[in-house]
Amino acid sequence: MTQIIRHILLLSCLFFYGYAQETKLREDSLVSLIYIQKITGAEKVKTMIALARLKKEADYVDAKIIAEKAIEEAGNLKQPSLRAEAYNVMAEIEDMHSHLDSAIHYYERAIQLYDPRKDQLNLAKALNLKGIVHESKGQYVKSYQSYIYALRIYDELNDEIGICNEYLNIGLIHQYNEEYKQARTYFNQSLAMARKIGHTEGIAAALNNLGIYYKEQNKLREAYDCFKQVLDIDYKQGNESNIATSLNNLGTINSDMGKEELALELYYKSARIKKKLKDQESLSNTYNNIATSLFKLQRINEAEIYLKDAESIGKQYNLPSILEETYNGLYEVEYSRKNYKQALEYHLKFQQIKDSIQTNENNTAIHDLENQYKLDKANAEIALKNTELENGAVLRISFIIIIVLLVLISLYFLYTVQHTNKLSRALNKRNDDLMKAKENAEQATTAKTQFLSVMSHEIRTPLNAIIGIANLLNEDLKNEAHKENINVLRIASQNLLLLINDLLDLNKLEVGKMEAANAQLNVRKVVDTIKEMFAVSASQKGIELKLEFDYHIPTALMGDETKLNQAITNLVSNAIKFTEKGFVEIRVKLEESKADSSTILFAVTDTGIGIPADKQQTIFESFAQVSTDTNRKYGGTGLGLSISQKLIDVMGGTLQVKSDLLKGSEFSFSLTFLHNQTDYQKPAIEVNTDSSLFEGKSILIADDNAVNIFVLKQFLKKWGITIVEVENGLEAFKMMYKHSFDMVLMDVQMPIKDGIDATIDIRNAGKEWSAVPIIAITASHEDEVRVKIKACGMNDFIIKPFMPSDLLEKLSKYL
With CB under 6 A as the contact rule, the residue among 103, 210, 641, 648 that binds ligand ADP is: 641
CB of 645 to ligand ADP, least distance (A): 9
CA–CA gap between residue 460 and residue 356 (Å, rounded): 31
Stretch that binds ligand ADP, among 9-17, 29-37, 567-575, 787-795 (CB under 6 A): 567-575
3-state secondary structure of 515: coil
Q: How many residues bind ligand ADP (CB under 6 A)?
A: 22
Residues in the chain: 815
Stretch that binds ligand ADP, among 246-254, 358-366, 476-484, 622-630 (CB under 6 A): 622-630
CA–CA gap between residue 303 and residue 300 (Å, rounded): 5
The angle at the Cα of 354, spanning 220 to 423, to the nearest 5 degrees, equals 55
With CB under 6 A as the contact rule, the residue among 379, 630, 670, 698 that binds ligand ADP is: 630
Scored b (16 or more CB within 10 A) or e, 563-590 reads bbbbbbbbbbbbbbbbbeeebbbbbbbb
Stretch that binds ligand ADP, among 373-381, 639-647, 733-741, 786-794 (CB under 6 A): 639-647
Alpha helical stretches, state H, 578-721? 629-634, 640-651, 706-718
CB of 526 to ligand ADP, least distance (A): 19
With CB under 6 A as the contact rule, the residue among 75, 80, 582, 638 that binds ligand ADP is: 638
Pairing of strands 743-747, 722-726: unpaired
Alpha helical stretches, state H, 78-99? 80-96
- Are residues 184 and 217 in contact, defined by beta-carbon separation less than 8 angstroms? no
| Interaction between residue 578 and ligand ADP (CB under 6 A) | yes
CA proximity to 227, closest of 180, 258, 196, 263:
263
Q: In terms of CB distance, is 128 or 573 closer to ligand ADP?
A: 573
| Interaction between residue 543 and ligand ADP (CB under 6 A) | no
CA–CA gap between residue 663 and residue 165 (Å, rounded): 59
Stretch that binds ligand ADP, among 341-349, 406-414, 572-580, 691-699 (CB under 6 A): 572-580
Handedness of CA 51, 52, 56, 60 (dihedral sign): positive
CA proximity to 126, closest of 113, 139, 137, 141:
113
Q: In terms of CB distance, is 80 or 582 closer to ligand ADP?
A: 582
Q: In terms of CB distance, is 20 or 576 closer to ligand ADP?
A: 576
**Footprint of ligand ADP on residues 663-692 (CB under 6 A)?**
665
| Interaction between residue 626 and ligand ADP (CB under 6 A) | yes
Q: In terms of CB distance, is 157 or 491 closer to ligand ADP?
A: 491
The angle at the Cα of 346, spanning 345 to 352, to the nearest 5 degrees, equals 90
With CB under 6 A as the contact rule, the residue among 574, 728, 759, 795 that binds ligand ADP is: 574
Stretch that binds ligand ADP, among 239-247, 268-276, 329-337, 609-617 (CB under 6 A): 609-617
Q: In terms of CB distance, is 420 or 625 closer to ligand ADP?
A: 625
From residue 153, how far is each of 167, 183, 195, 633 by CA, in Å? Answer: 13, 21, 21, 63
With CB under 6 A as the contact rule, the residue among 636, 670, 710, 757 that binds ligand ADP is: 636
CB of 566 to ligand ADP, least distance (A): 12
From residue 477, how far is each of 472, 487, 494, 721, 807 by CA, in Å? Answer: 9, 11, 19, 22, 21
**Footprint of ligand ADP on residues 211-230 (CB under 6 A)?**
none
Cβ atoms within 10 Å, residue 104: 21
| Interaction between residue 603 and ligand ADP (CB under 6 A) | no
Chain CA centroid to CA 373, Å: 36
| Interaction between residue 575 and ligand ADP (CB under 6 A) | yes
Cβ atoms within 10 Å, residue 24: 10
| Interaction between residue 506 and ligand ADP (CB under 6 A) | no
Q: In terms of CB distance, is 447 or 611 closer to ligand ADP?
A: 611
Q: In terms of CB distance, is 399 or 623 closer to ligand ADP?
A: 623
Query: Which residue, judged by CB position, is nearest to ligand ADP in the bound state?
Result: 636
| Interaction between residue 605 and ligand ADP (CB under 6 A) | no
Stretch that binds ligand ADP, among 283-291, 311-319, 637-645, 680-688 (CB under 6 A): 637-645
CB of 669 to ligand ADP, least distance (A): 14
CB of 623 to ligand ADP, least distance (A): 8
Stretch that binds ligand ADP, among 74-82, 141-149, 569-577, 806-814 (CB under 6 A): 569-577
CB of 501 to ligand ADP, least distance (A): 13
| Interaction between residue 80 and ligand ADP (CB under 6 A) | no
CB of 779 to ligand ADP, least distance (A): 24
| Interaction between residue 625 and ligand ADP (CB under 6 A) | yes
CB of 795 to ligand ADP, least distance (A): 37
| Interaction between residue 500 and ligand ADP (CB under 6 A) | no
**Footprint of ligand ADP on residues 463-492 (CB under 6 A)?**
none
- Are residues 71 and 87 in contact, defined by beta-carbon separation less than 8 angstroms? yes
Stretch that binds ligand ADP, among 98-106, 126-134, 431-439, 571-579 (CB under 6 A): 571-579
* CB-based contacts of 283-288 (< 8 A; 24+ apart in sequence): 283/313, 284/309, 284/310, 284/313, 284/314, 284/317, 284/319, 284/322, 284/326, 285/248, 285/310, 285/322, 285/325, 285/436, 286/244, 286/248, 286/251, 287/313, 288/322, 288/325, 288/326, 288/329
CB of 358 to ligand ADP, least distance (A): 24
Q: In terms of CB distance, is 249 or 645 closer to ligand ADP?
A: 645
Q: How many helices (H) and strands (E) does the chain have?
A: 30, 12
| Interaction between residue 607 and ligand ADP (CB under 6 A) | no
Q: In terms of CB distance, is 464 or 570 closer to ligand ADP?
A: 570
Cβ atoms within 10 Å, residue 50: 25
Residue 316: Cβ-neighbour burial (10 angstroms; 0-12, 13-18, 19+):
exposed
Backbone angles phi, psi at 789, to 5 degrees: -55, -45
CA proximity to 611, closest of 597, 598, 624, 602:
624
With CB under 6 A as the contact rule, the residue among 164, 639, 701, 745 that binds ligand ADP is: 639
3-state secondary structure of 592: strand
| Interaction between residue 126 and ligand ADP (CB under 6 A) | no
With CB under 6 A as the contact rule, the residue among 642, 668, 676, 780 that binds ligand ADP is: 642
Cα torsion through 759, 765, 768, 769, rounded to 10 = -30
From residue 748, how far is each of 349, 444, 782 by CA, in Å? Answer: 31, 27, 12
Q: In terms of CB distance, is 168 or 639 closer to ligand ADP?
A: 639
Q: Which positions touch ligand ADP (CB under 6 A)?
A: 570, 574-575, 578, 606, 608-611, 619, 624-626, 630, 636-642, 665
